[in-house]
Amino acid sequence: MDKKKNISMAVIKRLPKYHRYLSELLKNDVDRISSKELSRKIGFTASQIRQDLNCFGDFGQQGYGYNVKDLYSQISNILGIDREYSMVLLGAGNIGQAIANYTYFEKLGFKLKAIFDINPKLVGIKIRDIEIKDIDTLEGYLKNNAIDIGVLCVPSRSAQRVCDILIKNDVKSIWNFAPVDLIVPEGIHTENVHLSDSLLTLSYLMSHEE
Amino acid sequence: MDKKKNISMAVIKRLPKYHRYLSELLKNDVDRISSKELSRKIGFTASQIRQDLNCFGDFGQQGYGYNVKDLYSQISNILGIDREYSMVLLGAGNIGQAIANYTYFEKLGFKLKAIFDINPKLVGIKIRDIEIKDIDTLEGYLKNNAIDIGVLCVPSRSAQRVCDILIKNDVKSIWNFAPVDLIVPEGIHTENVHLSDSLLTLSYLMSHEE
């Protein structure tokens, strides 16, 4: 079923939304759904949905629609959450603590293995049974533990430096909450959550009302 | 300078990034910058930058480049942060508390006026001098206080209900952290921060490496 070449970021960015809606449908015991009905729920056109899913294989059947359970499981596979990922979290400030405490990621298969901070007052404290370690021990930790994702919640000024340590020690993906754009070598994935950018989009929309 | 019609969301979404970079340049006492140099820093092509900024007016001068302070101030105006916005925060759980504690938004002009939660154990507790109020008092509060933005950090199952109360009481913008897509009438702005969608984008990229 793998056509995976040349999939645009726009399509990739829509996949988690399909996953979320299908998970809702499953919870509500919906067995199958037409692309028209799925379109009504999810807010993409039926033709968009067909195009998106066609990037990955042949889903759905003329006159039957989609089998919800099958499609959910296929999209989970496509999203790569048929396996576990290990994460370390850097920076146990406000956002860092919130992320560490958010157990939903764990359910999706993203396991938080360790937390690091520079603040001696935080080192030693536990968040969900995970002790906050001194960030000076990060490199040593990474040499002994295979980690997939670094969750970067440190202040802007430290973000690139900590990111470099992660990459040097074989962390291949960075989930970045610091309000900076990281410079990373090819083959490293970054995904930014720039909260203030998002808030500024709202102020733009409010200030340009008719 | 206001050409503001038909600006695409893609352009709008890039504006906060310009704002962020110009703010950095200002901090580093950079007076002017060529579109080429700005392009190198920000990662958009020089022609993209010229196109984006041309949507709003004539910035920059042939052979001189951009005056950093002027451009920063113009983009601040365009983003609508030449005024203050009032916010209420709904749901003082992990993410809600992190947002409430994040003072950077305050510096941009987004003032947190009140926090609401349903949990009696949280009601009465203060975050940065703002007391958490019972969510049952939200409607009464909104009738007596003009609020621009509702920051929605409640669980998914309550998100639409709380959103409806906000809209009914003249809140025009919703900054939504709940992992659901809200249904809102025309004229209401929503901006979603779907953390798990962002994480799933990473797992997709990791699982589709060559």
Q: Is residue A17 part of a domain?
A: yes
- When divided into structural domains, chain B yields a total of 2
Domain residues for the domain of A139 are 85-197
Both A100 and A66 in one domain: the answer is no
State mean pLDDT over B155-174. Answer: 96
Give tens-digit pLDDT for A57-80.
Answer: 777 777 778 899 999 999 999 999
Residue pLDDT, tens place only, B33-51: 988 888 988 888 988 888 8
B10 at the A interface (CB within 8 A)?
no
Interchain proximity A205–B15, CB inside 8 Å:
no
Specify the pLDDT at position B7: 82
Of the partner residues B83, B172, B202, the one whose CB lies closest to the CB of residue A189:
B202
ipTM of the complex: 0.89
Considering only CB atoms, B80 lies closest to which of A102, A187, A203, namely A203
Q: What's the pLDDT score for residue A2?
A: 47
| Interface contact flag, B175 A202, Cβ < 8 Å | yes
Q: At A180, list the tokens.
A: 């900076």
In the stretch 37-66 of chain A, residues with CB closer than 8 A to chain B read 42-43
Looking at the fold, whether A66 and A89 belong to one and the same domain comes out as no
Report whether pLDDT(A86) > 50: yes
Same domain, A128 and A166: yes
* CB spacing of B16 vs A191 below 8 angstroms: no
Q: What is the CATH number of the domain that holds A66?
A: 1.10.10.10
Residue where a domain stops, chosen among A56, A78, A100: A78
In a domain, A207, yes or no: no
Domain-embedded: residue B3: no
Q: What is the mean pLDDT of chain B?
A: 91
Flag whether A208 is in a domain: no
Q: Are residues B127 and B70 in the same domain?
A: no
- The answer to whether residues B191 and B96 belong to one domain is yes
